[in-house]
Structure 1
Amino acid sequence: MKKKILFLVSDMESGGFQKSLISLLQCFDYKKYDVDLLVLCPKGIFMGQIPKEVNLLSVDISSSFFSSFPKSSINLIKEKQYILAIKRCIHFIISRFNKGIGAIYMANQIPALINEYDVAIDYNGQQILYYMVNKIKAHKKISYFHSDYKKWPYYKLSDKKYYSKVDYIVTISDICKESLDEIFPKYKDKTKVIHNISSPEIINKLATEECSINFDDKYTNVIMVGRPSDIKGYDFAIEACSKLKKDGEKVKFYSIGTSNDVDKFKKLVTDLDVEKEFIFIGETDNPYKFVKKADIYVHPSRFEGKSVAIDEAKILCKPIVITNFTTAKDHINNEVNGLIVGMNSEEVYKGIKILIKNTSLQEKFENNLSKENLGNESEVYKLYDLIEQVKV
């Protein structure tokens, strides 16, 4: 008899954990498991990539409730959802004082599911964790955390309470586990590492699709994948682009991703006079066809848990420049299969310029990456091991 599994996630917008979930679901064994997926706000570029074997669920609450404030309350009023609009205002006020209590309040407004499951898996954290614990019937509950907890401590007291009520906490790298173990030593034994899944077969197939941009081979074409934000170091990249232009380098940067902050970075592009050199592509459900055709991949983040995008660029054998965030060495062996540079625009600029001027170094990185075994679909078996310990 198949076990019934429920995954829970906030949305399927452009983001690392959403892409990671799609990769996991594409590798899942549907002959062995019945899988439901609850997307609280059922929209985003990855909705179309959910495997047909997955049963998509919804709850009876307006998706406007989960959008940013005050847009959420304005839209709820337009929808004549007056009580929800008031509750969203209350959530905003509570969150100004305590994000954790605010997230618990929000989770408590979401209707419960009727179905009972063998395993419920919160793939999001925070309010999804609280909702799963309070509202979902399951014999076992697993919660994912996709980043370095020391960089995201806003929910610590609430998470401490709710982590006591789950069977396992899953994170995506050894460094992320060390961070969780340090902050929540009581839960060390039930905190497990399951790396984000990257499938070379799927990525290389998608990379062959037709690309809508004709990259100019007279330029060095630099690609970035990630939402425009300070966390992702977009200011570093734009300033590096400006420095390269002033040096007379023929270079173009292409950005894949979107965010509420994109206008801020478009203004910086204008202020630094690199509008022709720094192009915002926006959202796409297939970044691989762009990455494949680019010359250099740059990931200038201020912090990362474990970047799916970097792993995918490695599979496509791109020369890579990344900043020295906490988990950088989990991705790159410096000067062997990529460059790790300091966390500022000057160092990002220097790293890119080294690759532009040294094509033999680019070839070295490409060759070394092509020899690596970068597929890790077997990581799904670690999750199966946790699932199979369920006592029905």
Structure 2
Amino acid sequence: MKKKLLFVIDSLPCAGAEKSLITLLSQLDYEQYEVDLQLFAYGWTLDELVPKEVNFLPPLSYTNYSKQSLKQMILNCRNLTQFKMIVARLRYSLFIRKGHLTNAQMARLYWQSIGSVIEKNEKVYDVAISYAQGIPTFYVADKTRAAKKYAWVNVSYTLGEEDRLFQEKYYQAYERIVAVSESAEEIFLESFPMFKDRMTIIYDINDYQMIKRMSELEPEFKLDVPHLKLLTIGRLDHQKGYDIALEAARLLKERGILFTWYVLGKGGLYDEIKQTIQKYGLEKEFILLGITANPYPMIKQCDIYVQTSKFEGYGLAIAEARMLNKPVVTTKFDAVFNQMVHEKNGLVTTMDGVGVADGIERLLKEPDLYHAIVDYLNQEKKGNVEEIAYFYQLIEKGTGRS
């Protein structure tokens, strides 16, 4: 009899954890596993890449109901359940008006406001997996029935005391907590040392052959300028450090360097980033492309891949750029040395615009270094599909990496 697995993640935009999940799902043996997938938002870029064997669960009732404006919700209210949803939405709206909030704070406030109106999944699973921290973690802990529950930690971040205490009670529900890198595990344990014996590491799975094939397809966006082509992939949010990227772009322009810096991503900072682009006069240099299900032809076209993250659990886009032999300039976030070798496969810089600009300029003005990095990248091991063995070990024996 097939084992029943449930995966839960917020949604499937073109981002690191989401691409990691798609790759994992593409590697599974569906003769052994029956797989359900629960999302909190549908219709994103990667939905179409989910293997056909995976069963998309229908949207949650609140997800559907909250697509309406608040006015429509009130006018269409027909029962007590819908009234409770309206109250929950109002409560959450009031909470998030308090000012700048971290992702952890947003997730906590969402669940404190709305969790009570989210229905339970009554199906009984062998394993239920929260594939992202925050709302999926709370949902799997609170709203699912499974013999075993596993939580993925794919971002390195520190928590304030209120969020730490809030999250601790949910992680108590999990038999295993899976970090995607050593540094992600280390930082998680700074907040939750009591879970040390439950931790294991399973790296994000990268399928080189799939990435190579996709990189050879017709690109949705052509990076066809005659000068230096830079590329960054990542949500438009605080974590990805676009303030650093924009400052670096401003400095490069001041130094007289001809470049176009392309960005693949979507998110809440779009308007703020556009305003800064105009403020710095970078309308021709810093180009927001939006999102695409296949970023690999753009990686293949660029000269340098740039990552300005402030924190990451691993940095999947860096791994993908390396597989396509593109030199990387990246900030020194916590997990960076899980894959970067400074001056070998790229440059690791200080976490500021000056450092990033200096790294980019150095690769431009030192062609011997640039080509030495490309040669090194050509020799690096490509992909790690063998990592699926540790996932099977986790599912079948509950042990993960020993």
Shared fold by TM > 0.5?
Answer: yes
1:206-221 to 2 correspondence within 5 Å?
A: 206-216=214-224, 218-221=226-229
**C-alpha distance 165-335 of structure 1, shift in aligned 2 (>3 A):** same
Q: How many equivalent pairs are there?
A: 387
Match of 1:319 in 2: 327
Shift of 1:72: 6.6
Q: How far apart, in 2, do the equivalents of 1:124 and 1:131 lie? A: 11
Shift of 1:387: 1.0
In the alignment, does 2:23 pair up with 1:5?
A: no
Q: Which amino acid aligns with 2:45?
A: I
Match of 2:256 in 1: 248
**C-alpha distance 385-270 of structure 1, shift in aligned 2 (>3 A):** same
Identity %: 32
**C-alpha distance 121-386 of structure 1, shift in aligned 2 (>3 A):** same
Match of 2:41 in 1: 41
Q: How far apart, in 2, do the equivalents of 1:208 and 1:152 lie? A: 45
Match of 1:354 in 2: 362
Q: How far apart, in 1, do the equivalents of 2:307 and 2:75 lie? A: 40
Q: Which amino acid aligns with 2:312?
A: E
Q: Which amino acid aligns with 1:31?
A: E
Q: How far apart, in 1, do the equivalents of 2:231 and 2:48 lie? A: 24
Conservation of the 8 A alpha-carbon contact between 2:66 and 2:73: no
Q: Which amino acid aligns with 2:23?
A: S
Q: How far apart, in 2, do the equivalents of 1:331 and 1:154 lie? A: 33
Match of 2:196 in 1: 188
In the alignment, does 2:164 pair up with 1:156?
A: yes
Report the 3-state secondary structure (helix = DSSP H, G, I; strand = E; otherwise coil) of the residue aligned with 2:238. coil
**C-alpha distance 38-369 of structure 1, shift in aligned 2 (>3 A):** same
CA RMSD of aligned residues (A): 2.3
Query: What are the Cα deviations for residues 245-273 of structure 1, in whole angstroms up to 9, with x where unaligned?
Result: 22222211100001121111111111111
Structure 1: stretches of 5+ with no match in the other structure: none
Conservation of the 8 A alpha-carbon contact between 2:327 and 2:373: yes
Match of 2:290 in 1: 282
Report the 3-state secondary structure (helix = DSSP H, G, I; strand = E; otherwise coil) of the residue aligned with 2:10. strand
**C-alpha distance 27-323 of structure 1, shift in aligned 2 (>3 A):** same
Q: How far apart, in 2, do the equivalents of 1:209 and 1:74 lie? A: 45
Conservation of the 8 A alpha-carbon contact between 1:255 and 1:282: yes
Report the 3-state secondary structure (helix = DSSP H, G, I; strand = E; otherwise coil) of the residue aligned with 1:150. coil
Q: Which amino acid aligns with 2:318?
A: I
Shift of 1:340: 0.3
Match of 2:24 in 1: 24
Alignment equivalent of 1:198, drawn from 182, 191, 206: 206
| TM-score (normalised: structure 2) | 0.90
Query: What are the Cα deviations for residues 149-189 of structure 1, in whole angstroms up to 9, with x where unaligned?
Result: 42676631122112122111111110111122232222101
Q: How far apart, in 1, do the equivalents of 2:161 and 2:264 lie? A: 28
Query: What are the Cα deviations for residues 36-70 of structure 1, in whole angstroms up to 9, with x where unaligned?
Result: 11112223111111110101112441426678xxx
Report the 3-state secondary structure (helix = DSSP H, G, I; strand = E; otherwise coil) of the residue aligned with 1:275. coil
Match of 2:371 in 1: 363
